[in-house]
Amino acid sequence: MELAVYNTEGKETKKVKLDESIFGIAPNDHAIYLDVKHFGASNRQGTHKSKERGEIAGSTRKIKKQKGTGTARAGSIKNPLFRGGGRVFGPKPRDYSFKLNKKVKLLARKSALSYKAQDNLITLVEDFKMEAPKTKDYLKIMNALKVSDQKPLLVLGESDKVVSLSSRNCQGHKVVSARDLCTYDILKHKSLVIAESALPLIESNLNRFQR
């Protein structure tokens, strides 16, 4: 599969052949599901907490006799059935992350990239630098590539703080380096813009375990 490479003015300069083992595989939906689930679980804080009856401030005096009242027995005002009482089996701080094999993660990313390639939602752009963080200049490039209204994900070869700051005011836009590319971001953004220097890094990173 070949894709055209554009400059920052939106003009085609050459064509590049994409690696079929990454951008042309049969997508595995279950691998994508597992990787996105792993991403979400790993980002959960897990700091939720409610107090049980042993942690509630209050008297432990038995508020009424055990039998003969015609109502249910109650040990103290901390009873979970009373207002202000402790909660039964409430949430406690925990770690939601789980292990996911590296090969499954790589398969998920390849599947997500293959979906983008099938839908013609990948745009290649020549490497560019910005002298100062200016949203206007960043949008000028995105408009030239005709992706500004598609909530694009711009993948650079290396982290570029100036470009990242320039895109920060654009809703739905995001800039990442090739090593930080993940399945969640690929699927979240409609269009994928890849810098020319980032393409070989993505291909080498996703072909690590290929024999």
Write out pLDDT tens, residues 147-189: 988 999 999 999 989 999 999 999 999 999 999 999 999 999 9
**Alpha helix locations (H) across 49-197?**
102-118, 135-144, 161-167, 183-188
Same domain, 112 and 84: no
Taking a C-beta distance cutoff of 8 angstroms, is the pair 5, 125 a contact? Answer: yes
The domain in which residue 107 lies consists of 2-45+96-206
Same domain, 193 and 158: yes
pLDDT at 60 over 70: yes
For 144-182, letters b (16+ CB in 10 Å) and e give bbebbebebbbbbbeebeebbbbbeebeebbbbbbeebb
Q: Read off the DSSP letter of residue 77.
A: T
| Residue 172 forms part of a structural domain | yes
| Residue 211 forms part of a structural domain | no
Taking a C-beta distance cutoff of 8 angstroms, is the pair 196, 125 a contact? Answer: yes
Same domain, 119 and 26: yes
Same domain, 79 and 120: no
Same domain, 202 and 172: yes
Alpha-carbon distance of 2 to 19, in angstroms, equals 9
Residues of the chain with pLDDT > 70: what percent? 99
Same domain, 22 and 124: yes
Q: How many domains does the chain have?
A: 2
| Residue 40 forms part of a structural domain | yes
DSSP string, 149-168: TS--EEEESS--HHHHHHHT
Alpha-carbon distance of 65 to 201, in angstroms, equals 74
Among residues 58, 90, 122, the one where a domain terminates is 90
Q: State the Cα torsion 152-156-158-159 to the nearest 10°.
A: -20
Query: Residue 209 — pLDDT band, cuts 50, 70, 90?
Result: low
pTM of the prediction?
0.83
Same domain, 55 and 30: no
pLDDT at 10 over 90: no
Same domain, 78 and 168: no
Same domain, 161 and 185: yes
